[in-house]
Amino acid sequence: MHLFFTPDLQPTDTSYTLSEEESKHCARVLRLDRGDTVTLIDGRGGWFKAEIAEPNPKKTSIKILHHQPDYNQRNYRVHIAVGPTKNMDRMEWFVEKAVEMGIDEITFLQCARSERKNLNLERLEKIAVSAMKQSMKAYLPTLHPLTRYADFLQQPIEGKRFIAHLVEGQERHSLAKSISGNDTYTVLIGPEGDFSPEEVAQALAAGFQPVTLGQSRLRTETAALAACHTIHVLLDV
């Protein structure tokens, strides 16, 4: 199956022209020809069956045959807010794997102990698109830019809220035992060095429940993916 990302494709469209990047991949790399069937995804749940009308490495035209909305839509949402690591390769790995697994939102947090002060959101979005296509999903998660921790806590957050931390002297419950029912789940994951005690207190005051991801001490990106996976394992039944 050949998938192409078509973010501006509308449900009522009967034809479409692929972007130059997707056209090049279609006509030159895959060498698809007139009449070959393809699948288009808009990143908003739209899954389109189509066929190539005219292959062209710069503007391949497509004929839309069938549109399926809300393709494989889940009844729950996952939002991971994480302090990015100093080594961006590790954050790129997390984004790729989380999208393959299924995630709705990722927010990058600037925390007290954060070593990274900026990130290339455009590159991360390209990785997310590639992972969405690779895993045959129709939803592209929202990637939020680097956000100050205090500002994030002030935002309206729907559903159930958790903070995974390692601060001693704080009672924590298992995330796995805290997940129940279809809902929106937001999990805070600290940067290298974890959240500060003050940040944990701020989250608790904002209504976040303290949780643990198990007995092992996990790297930031591993903890973020473990939280995402835990939610899926418990609700994908």
Residues 60-97: tens digit of each pLDDT:
999 999 999 999 999 999 999 999 999 999 999 999 99
Query: Fold for domain 77-235?
Result: Alpha/beta knot (3.40.1280)
CA distance linking residue 114 with residue 34, whole number of Å: 51
* pLDDT confidence band for 203 (50 / 70 / 90): very high
Is residue 22 within 8 Å of residue 58, measured between CB atoms? no
Average pLDDT over residues 22-45: 96
Write out the two tokens for 64.
């839309």
From the centroid of its chain, how far is CA 74?
Answer: 14
Nearest one of 66, 134, 77, 130 to 106, comparing CA atoms: 77
Confidence at residue 237, expressed as pLDDT on a 0 to 100 scale: 65
**Same fold across 3-68 and 77-235:** no
- Give the residue extent of every domain in the chain: 3-68, 77-235
Q: What confidence score (pLDDT) does residue 85 get?
A: 93
Protein fold of 3-68: Ribosomal Protein L25; Chain P (2.40.240)
Indicate the pTM of the whole model: 0.93
pLDDT tens profile 165-186: 987 777 788 999 999 989 999 9
For residues 215 and 129, the answer to whether their CB atoms sit within 8 Å is no
User: How far is Cα 125 from Cα 202, in angstroms, rounded to an integer?
Assistant: 30
